[in-house]
Amino acid sequence: MIIVLTRTPLVLASSLRPSSSTANTMPASGVLNAAATPAAPPARMRSEDRIARAWLDRETLSMAKPVADAALGLLLLETGRHLDLGWLRVNRSLLGCAVGEAGLAFAAIFAFAFLAVGLSPGWSAATAAITMASAPAVVLLTAEESRAQGQVTQRTLLLTAINCALSFVVFAVVLGVVHAEQSGDWLNALAHPLWVVCGGIGIGMLCARLALIIAARHAKGSVTQVFILVAVALLAIGVARMLGVPVFLCLFMMGAALNMADRNRVLAYTDLPQGHWILAIVLFVVTGAMLPLNDLNPITGLQALGLIVVRGLAKFAGVLVTGRQDLPIAKRRLVGIGIQPLSATAIFMAAELAGIYPEVSGQALLLPLLAAALMEFAGPQMCRYALNKAGETEPLPAGRNR
């Protein structure tokens, strides 16, 4: 990771002169695979090349790939562990609030992409599925750094986790729609989404069971259990990459399975080491580095800002009109602000679509990528404001400023 971060300034400098590096075909579970070729890139390379060539060269991309996979996987593992289905069974209105908010966000983004931007129905649905989720990395980091605890914090974390789960399901369905729209192959339109969903759930559940079996032989909360959890998570990443299943789905399902299957609370007191949050820096670096400046123009920038505004209003309204039974309107407003960060997983979803259909118009992928990059600036501040305004954060030690 240090190599990747320290090479970034050199890569940015080298991007100012012509380069012969071009991006290679992206596997279904990855985002950072590339290879150089002296000849003109074939059609299958052009979409990813437009995304990555201006910022990252082949060598840096190949080095960053396993780190980015591990960063995203561990963050989504923690997000899955925060998905408390028992709480949803006790308070059924929470599920209705989450579904209503996510559904409204999807519908609003779809309408904007289809009517205002002019994308096809399939790619409008893909844009909505990619950008509807909140950012688990930002929400978890902000809550942990602020030591936030309370109703607003828990509701924000829970809605973020459910958002991720719903976006993964919708994304798998949209894959089938895009397959049917692009190729007309209905067999592939049905088989590929089923492979993605079943493969992700299967790998996640098997790895969760493996982690619990091994960890049960050791003391609860011990360092050994931490190593076991990380090792099995990395195993899940390797299996997912080998089978062509999205890493983000496998690790999220592993976290959710750990939460559901750990009846003896074997790993309930085991947290990932604090250093794993440093991996989140890689995701933010990748988000900025993947920004396709070559295709950026004022119209595209305005469309990305419009998408952010439409998405933000839909998510805020969705939270505001639901959850009236157990949360006052003032706290619902803060939750609506706290879930605004746009998930960095959007980049990985967009890149997976680029790997499947590289010949598609760059704007279909440029819009969610640019929106995700822009929200890296505003999203964390909005989440922090919501938690601070709710009065659920602990004051920092003297001499430190937020």
Domain ranges of the chain: 68-389
pLDDT digit string (tens) for 128-174?
988 998 888 788 888 888 888 888 998 898 888 888 888 888 888 88
DSSP letters of 169-216?
HHHHHHHHHHHHHHH--HHHHHHHHHHHHHHHHHHHHHHHHHHHHHHT
Mean pLDDT of 288-304: 75
φ, ψ of residue 342 to 5 degrees: the values are: -90, 130
Torsion of CA 386, 140, 252, 62, to 10 degrees: 120
pLDDT digit string (tens) for 322-361?
877 778 889 999 999 999 998 767 777 777 776 676 656 5
H/E element, 275:
none
Fold classified for 68-389: Na+/H+ antiporter like fold (1.20.1530)
CB distance 118 to 132 below 8 Å: no
pLDDT of the residue at 336: 93
Neighbouring residues of 318: CB distance < 8 A, sequence distance ≥ 6? 97, 100, 101, 102, 103, 104, 105, 336
Going by C-alpha positions, the residue among 102, 84, 128, 131 that lies closest to residue 322 is 102
pLDDT of the residue at 31: 33
Structure pTM? Answer: 0.75
Q: How many CB atoms lie within 10 A of CB 59?
A: 14
pLDDT digit string (tens) for 170-201?
888 888 887 777 777 777 778 878 888 899 89
pLDDT of the residue at 334: 93
